[in-house]
């Protein structure tokens, strides 16, 4: 493996070691976890989240935190895709010896993603994002975890940055942090340990470790808005190795602090949703409003 960004050739034995040290540095740099913390890892069975679970399980002993994992059964693809996703995640967690939880969206909230897509006029990935963000935080809160870890990669962060610039979504842009502090008492902080890790390195690590992750894509993936930005940014990184890292580092160091100062007092303060108690910018949170509409159409 040749790590172009660092001009570093590494053998099969040392690449995983280098990759784990890189993730460890990210965890320490942004104070994502502390000794004694209980960390819940969101695992879909795909490459990024499965690798995240493997790396955090490896680092947990040395850094003194506990790891468990959770998979949401979203009911995608008439359940066939979600079933595969749940089975893959459960197998990986079992092999790593990690305590694992599976949560069905249908059982917990009364509808599947497929049903929500049919009931509400909104792009599937946008609905899915809202459901996952809400449900994972809700589950982590109920189970008393200190942090919720997601497999967002450097490539994802760079793509979100660019799409937020394009659409001038300042509120979303300012939230693209490696760590999101607890929004209300009892709500776990959200962490992105792969904030500085490229997908090509994550894949190399997963393959070298022999992780049997899910290779089939979600049937809604082709509807993802702004997906063309992915290949644009991949091309940029291929031509100038280190470009994505420079872009995201520059954002964290210079752009975000300026944006945060500019947005001070302009964004609504978060308060508990009057229906579910989760953080909300209005009286009722976006999830509860969407859920009500979906359940109404289904009844």
By the rule CB under 6 A, 42 interacts with ligand SF4: no
* 158, 166 Cβ separation under 8 angstroms: no
* 167, 252 Cβ separation under 8 angstroms: no
By the rule CB under 6 A, 151 interacts with ligand SF4: no
User: Which residues, including other chains, have CB under 8 Å from residue 232's CB and lie 6 or more apart?
Assistant: none
Q: Which does 220 bind (CB under 5 to 8 A by kind): ligand SF4, Zn ion, none?
A: ligand SF4
Nearer Cβ to ligand SF4, position 57 or 72? 72
Nearer Cβ to Zn ion, position 251 or 287? 287
Which residues make beta-bridge pairs with 38?
Answer: 66
Per CB under 6 A, the list member of 6, 166, 171, 221 interacting with ligand SF4 is 221
Least Cα distance to 51 among 210, 162, 182, 259 occurs for 210
What is the per-residue binding string for ligand SF4 in 105-124, x denoting contact by CB under 6 A?
A: -------------------x
Backbone angles phi, psi at 220, to 5 degrees: -90, -5
- Closest distance to Zn ion from the beta carbon of 83 (Å): 28
- Closest distance to ligand SF4 from the beta carbon of 217 (Å): 7
Q: Give the torsion through C-alpha atoms of 137, 141, 145, 148, to 10 deg.
A: 10
By the rule CB under 5 A, 276 interacts with Zn ion: yes
By the rule CB under 6 A, 214 interacts with ligand SF4: no
- Closest distance to ligand SF4 from the beta carbon of 150 (Å): 12
- Closest distance to ligand SF4 from the beta carbon of 118 (Å): 14
Structure tokens at 125: 């990935």
Per CB under 5 A, the list member of 84, 143, 162, 288 interacting with Zn ion is 288
Three-state SS across 71-130?
EEECCCCCCHHHHHHHHHHHHHHHHHCCEEEEEEHHHHHCCCHHHHHHHCCCCHHHHHHH
Nearer Cβ to ligand SF4, position 34 or 129? 129
Q: Give the torsion through C-alpha atoms of 88, 94, 98, 104, to 10 deg.
A: 50
- Closest distance to Zn ion from the beta carbon of 152 (Å): 23
Per CB under 5 A, the list member of 38, 175, 203, 275 interacting with Zn ion is 275
Count of residues in contact with Zn ion, rule CB under 5 A = 5
- Closest distance to Zn ion from the beta carbon of 274 (Å): 8
| Separation of alpha carbons 157 and 194, rounded Å | 10
Interacting span for ligand SF4 (CB under 6 A) from 60-68, 154-162, 213-221, 283-291: 213-221
Q: Strand 8-9 vs strand 2-3: parallel, antiparallel, or unpaired?
A: antiparallel
Structure tokens at 129: 């994002």
Kindly list the residues in this chain that would bind ligand SF4 in the complex (CB under 6 A). 124-125, 128-129, 218, 220-221, 224
Kindly list the residues in this chain that would bind Zn ion in the complex (CB under 5 A). 273, 275-276, 285, 288
């Amino acid at each position: 493996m040749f790590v172009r960004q660092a001009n570093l050739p590494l053998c099969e034995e040392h690449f995983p070691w280098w990759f784990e040290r890189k993730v460890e540095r990210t965890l320490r740099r942004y104070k994502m976890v502390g000794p004694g913390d209980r960390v819940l890892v969101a695992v879909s069975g795909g490459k990024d989240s499965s690798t995240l679970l493997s790396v955090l399980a490896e680092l947990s002993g040395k850094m003194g935190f506990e790891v468990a994992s959770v998979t949401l059964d979203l009911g995608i693809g008439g359940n066939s895709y979600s079933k595969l996703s749940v089975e893959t995640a459960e197998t990986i967690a079992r092999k790593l010896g990690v305590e694992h939880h599976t949560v069905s969206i249908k059982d917990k909230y009364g509808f599947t993603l497929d049903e929500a897509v049919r009931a509400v006029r909104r792009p599937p990935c946008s609905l899915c994002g809202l459901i996952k963000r809400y449900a994972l935080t809700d589950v982590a809160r109920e189970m008393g975890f200190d942090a919720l870890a997601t497999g967002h990669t450097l490539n994802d962060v760079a793509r979100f940055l660019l799409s937020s610039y394009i659409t001038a979504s300042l509120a979303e842009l300012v939230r693209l942090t490696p760590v999101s502090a607890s929004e209300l008492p009892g709500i776990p902080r959200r962490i992105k340990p792969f904030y500085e890790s490229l997908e090509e390195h994550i894949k190399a690590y997963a393959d070298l470790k022999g992780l049997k992750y899910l290779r089939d894509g979600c049937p809604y993936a082709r509807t993802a808005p702004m997906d063309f930005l992915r290949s644009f940014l991949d091309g940029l990184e291929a031509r100038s190795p280190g470009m994505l890292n420079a872009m995201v580092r520059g954002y964290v160091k210079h752009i975000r602090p300026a944006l945060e100062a500019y947005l001070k007092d302009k964004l609504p303060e978060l308060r508990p949703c009057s229906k579910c108690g989760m953080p909300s910018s209005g009286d009722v949170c976006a999830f509860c409003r969407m859920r009500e509409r979906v359940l109404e159409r289904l009844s």
